[in-house]
């Protein structure tokens, strides 16, 4: 996955939300994504809408306010 805010790719193993190293909503959202090239420049992507209870909840974090829904297009990258 990559960040549009210039932070570069963000990698994690599916299932890491149980350890607290990734948001539960991201963990659930990427499970069905597959690596594969159907066209020369095909990059699998998915729109994820993560409700607060699967994101930061009532705490918020840094610039993300409490009870925020996180929405974004996530790209599945591989090397």
* Contact of 28 with 54, CB cutoff 8 Å: yes
Look up the CATH number of the domain holding residue 51.
3.10.50.40
What whole-number distance in Å separates Cα of residue 35 and Cα of residue 43? 8
* Contact of 18 with 10, CB cutoff 8 Å: no
Specify the number of domains making up the chain: 1
The domain in which residue 6 lies consists of 2-75
Q: What is the pLDDT of residues 15-73, one digit of tens each?
A: 778 777 788 988 888 777 766 555 555 667 788 899 999 999 999 999 999 999 999 88
Q: Give the residue carrying structure tokens 């705490």.
A: 59
What whole-number distance in Å separates Cα of residue 68 and Cα of residue 52? 5
Q: Give the residue carrying structure tokens 């299932």.
A: 15
């Amino acid at each position: 996955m990559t960040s549009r805010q210039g932070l570069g790719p963000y990698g994690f193993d599916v299932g890491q939300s149980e350890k607290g190293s990734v948001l539960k909503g991201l963990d659930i959202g990427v499970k069905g994504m597959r690596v594969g090239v159907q066209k020369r420049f095909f990059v699998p992507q998915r729109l994820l809408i993560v409700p607060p209870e699967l994101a930061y909840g009532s705490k918020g974090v840094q610039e993300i306010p409490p009870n925020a829904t996180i929405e974004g297009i996530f790209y599945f990258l591989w090397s």
